[in-house]
Amino acid sequence: MYAVCVTFQIKAGMAEEFMPLMQKQAQNSLKLEEACHRFDVCTNAEKPNEVFLYEIYEDAEAFQLHLATDHFKTFDLAIQPLLAGKEVNTYSTVYP
């Protein structure tokens, strides 16, 4: 398995526009990508401009395929004006 953790910093006042796009992306990934096993969208009331994703893919290649999908490209383009920052970290399974 291959884990992807993404933290988005949303520009002030843009969370209401960002969240429906994020939720649709999560749904599309799970529905359209057989090798996407989990796509959690997490928020913290104390950090209203931060969104954390936890995604699980079959392997690193499946994640690269995810990045090449039309739904990801459309999502990524749509959110760019809403972001103040983004951090992506990936992890391979070490212990089953």
Ordered DSSP codes for the chain? -EEEEEEEEEPTT-HHHHHHHHHHHHHHHHHH-TTEEEEEEEEETTEEEEEEEEEEESSHHHHHHHHTSHHHHHHHHHHGGGEEEEEEEEEE-S--
pTM: 0.91
Q: How far apart are CA 23 and CA 3, in angstroms?
A: 19
pLDDT at residue number 44:
95
Q: Classify domain 2-92 at the CATH class level.
A: alpha beta
Percent of the chain whose predicted confidence (pLDDT) is above 70:
97
pLDDT digits (tens, 9 = 90+) for 23-53: 999 999 999 999 999 999 999 999 999 999 9
